[in-house]
Structure 1
Amino acid sequence: MTEQNAVSTVPNIIAGMMRIADRTDAEIRAVYTAAREAGVTQFDHADLYGFNHPGGYHHCERRFAEALQLSGAQREEIVLQSKTGIVDEPWGYDQSYEHIIASVDRSLAALRTDYLDVLLLHRPDALVEPEEVARAFDELEAAGKVRAFGVSNHTPRQIDLLKTAVTQPLVVNQVQLSLVHAPIIAQGLTANMLATPDAVTLDGGGLLEYSRIHGITLQAWSPFQGPGGVFLDSPDYPGLNAELNRLAEKYGVAPIAIATAWITRHPATMQVVLGTTTPQRVADAAAGSTLPLTRGEWYGLFRAAGHHLP
């Protein structure tokens, strides 16, 4: 992702807008300002976000535009990314040509913009027809409505299936990743180990390595959460928090910055999608963008999170 017109940017940090549905205009402006001041220029949306509020689908996109009232020049300074493919009533997935086209048009209207910088397919659709996805992507690209394409929560083979028809590069795969939810990393370290839960393949088969080979940027969602919720300051993770606090003191940052740095330190050049709407937490997390964790510190955090190293 190329960032524009910012003196100091952190291209590996993304501000997620999933939780702004019930925020006031002032609160949305505050988190946006904090992100921009921290060097963040990319903002993540989805047609689904806010669907259970009165505004329905595209509600968070709409609130973002209403609160910020960005000028044309301001819009050009940021990267807007949105996702499509999840539907409700009944809950399921739809990557048909008709759904993709209609969803993007509604996202553009809600965001008050002529184009999306990036469009992702939000979840795999078991009924997907790659030719329909290709037709939609071709039309959106030709019309200038979408500049780049990717996926979210897809396995390597699901990406390969799409690529049988889609000609545009799939530049992103947004997946869940944190210190305590790290199957895409842990499986590769413990492959073929019978007694280790991390050895179970949950990533569809080498997702991390596949992404590096094919130039796909992994975006980590829920970067501070695990099965029991947020792990920062949680009594469920005393060893991990002790190590986070130790390194935070060493580097002069907040512990959340160390949790961020654990992801950004990886040579896959992953991006971290922040879900917080608290301005200070945005700034604190972004401070981990370029922290130079050593190999020992990186593996120490991995072990402290409960993962096994053979």
Structure 2
Amino acid sequence: MKRIKMGCTTLSIPAMALGIMRMNQKSVPEAQVAIQAAYDAGINFIDSADIYGGGKSEEIFGQAFSQMQIKREEMFIQSKTGIVPGKRYDFSKEHILHSVDEILERMQLDYLDSLVLHRPDALMDPEEVAEAFDQLQAAGKVRFFGVSNFDTAQFKLLQSCLSQRLMFNQLQFSLKHTGMIDFGMHMNMVDKPSVDRDSQFLDYARLHKVTVQAWSPFQYGMFEGTFIDNDGFPKLNQELQKQADKYEVGKNAIAAAWILRHPANIQMLVGSMNPQHIRDSAKGAKIRLTRQEWYDLYLAAGNYLP
């Protein structure tokens, strides 16, 4: 598995993480198979959130992982907080502290390697968040911190009040969600791709050594479904298959290789619980697409160049 530097540190993390959003749909033995498949492929980074499956995903993970032979220190385990389903976003100190305690209990852990704030809270008080982070770190409950779906200004605002460096920003990025790179190539144009909806965060991340974590790497829209083997995207799947045949892998590996080919050293979140899909996706980390192959996929996905 390709390894990358985490944020501004010298700590090495895998270029892929296993997202456990759908683990609530699996039995404990099935969850163990998925975790083991990821671990065997070099993916020793887990990404969760307190809202996944209403907390059940973390419960299943906790039960599964506690019965496995993998040592805790061999895994990097991350969770997210800040969304109160159907009610509000909540970055209050009280909510953050309480949520972490519940996460640790569900996952049967003594600490999290990373805590990520899950989608921006319009009522965020950066000083209050800083107090929560300091308390969690001092208590040994969280080692590192990050955010999810923050724009550049929101990221800077929070960072200005923290004693810790933010390591991550989770952003949607895939062959069918390319806004972060479209506008740069359509600079000085008036077409739809020229609109910057991500406040140039990818460039900011490269300048300030922030690890971008790409979520939904095989999805189109937000949660409409996968573009892999989807009849609605014939040109893209034809190009994916062409390159998959060349590299003797599956389509998932090529879609993953496309993300990892970007020089920002993006970490990709694999959300599948299918061991075969996990293993095939992991093969993408060993492939370095040529520039032409990368652009061929970009164009086959329905994008165009000015």
Contact 2:5 2:13 in 1 (8 A): no
Deviation, structure 1 residue 180: 0.8
Aligned partner letter, 1:166:
L
Alpha-carbon distance between aligned partners in 2 of 1:50 and 1:232, rounded to the nearest angstrom = 24
Contact 1:253 1:284 in 2 (8 A): yes
Q: 1:75 aligns with which of 62, 72, 75?
A: 72
Aligned partner letter, 1:67:
A
Q: Which runs of 5+ in 2 are unaligned?
A: 7-11
Cross-structure match for 1:209:
203
Alpha-carbon distance between aligned partners in 1 of 2:126 and 2:69, rounded to the nearest angstrom = 34
Please state if 1:223 is matched with 2:226: no
Deviation, structure 1 residue 166: 1.2
**Aligned positions of 1:96-245 closer than 5 A:** 96-194=92-190, 196-203=191-198, 205-227=199-221, 228-245=224-241
Alpha-carbon distance between aligned partners in 2 of 1:29 and 1:279, rounded to the nearest angstrom = 10
Three-state SS of the structure 2 residue aligned to 1:81 is: strand
Three-state SS of the structure 1 residue aligned to 2:53 is: coil
Q: 1:84 aligns with which of 60, 69, 81?
A: 81
Alpha-carbon distance between aligned partners in 1 of 2:264 and 2:5, rounded to the nearest angstrom = 16
Please state if 1:299 is matched with 2:295: yes
Contact 1:10 1:289 in 2 (8 A): no
Deviation, structure 1 residue 158: 0.4
Aligned partner letter, 1:83:
K
Alpha-carbon distance between aligned partners in 1 of 2:89 and 2:242, rounded to the nearest angstrom = 44
Alpha-carbon distance between aligned partners in 2 of 1:29 and 1:288, rounded to the nearest angstrom = 23
Aligned partner letter, 1:302:
Y
Alpha-carbon distance between aligned partners in 2 of 1:70 and 1:197, rounded to the nearest angstrom = 51
Three-state SS of the structure 1 residue aligned to 2:36 is: helix
Cross-structure match for 2:17:
14
Aligned partner letter, 1:233:
D
How many residue pairs match? The answer is: 296
Moved over 4 A (4+): 70-73
The CA deviation string for residues 261-292 of structure 1, in whole angstroms up to 9 with x for no partner, is: 00011110001101111000000000001311
Deviation, structure 1 residue 300: 1.1
Alpha-carbon distance between aligned partners in 2 of 1:165 and 1:104, rounded to the nearest angstrom = 20
**Aligned positions of 1:56-75 closer than 5 A:** 58-70=55-67, 74-75=71-72
Contact 2:32 2:68 in 1 (8 A): no
Cα RMSD (Å) of the superposition? 1.6
Aligned partner letter, 2:213:
Q
Contact 1:41 1:77 in 2 (8 A): yes
Alpha-carbon distance between aligned partners in 2 of 1:169 and 1:308, rounded to the nearest angstrom = 37
Contact 2:13 2:45 in 1 (8 A): no
Q: 1:39 aligns with which of 32, 42, 46?
A: 42
Cross-structure match for 1:54:
none
Deviation, structure 1 residue 69: 1.5
Contact 1:83 1:120 in 2 (8 A): yes
Three-state SS of the structure 2 residue aligned to 1:172 is: strand
TM score, norm. by length of structure 2: 0.93
Contact 2:175 2:301 in 1 (8 A): yes
TM score, norm. by length of structure 1: 0.92
Aligned partner letter, 1:63:
I
The CA deviation string for residues 26-66 of structure 1, in whole angstroms up to 9 with x for no partner, is: 11011011111111100111011111xxxxxx221111011
Three-state SS of the structure 1 residue aligned to 2:14 is: coil
Alpha-carbon distance between aligned partners in 2 of 1:175 and 1:206, rounded to the nearest angstrom = 12
Deviation, structure 1 residue 73: 6.5
Three-state SS of the structure 2 residue aligned to 1:267 is: coil
Higher strand share: 2
Three-state SS of the structure 1 residue aligned to 2:24 is: coil
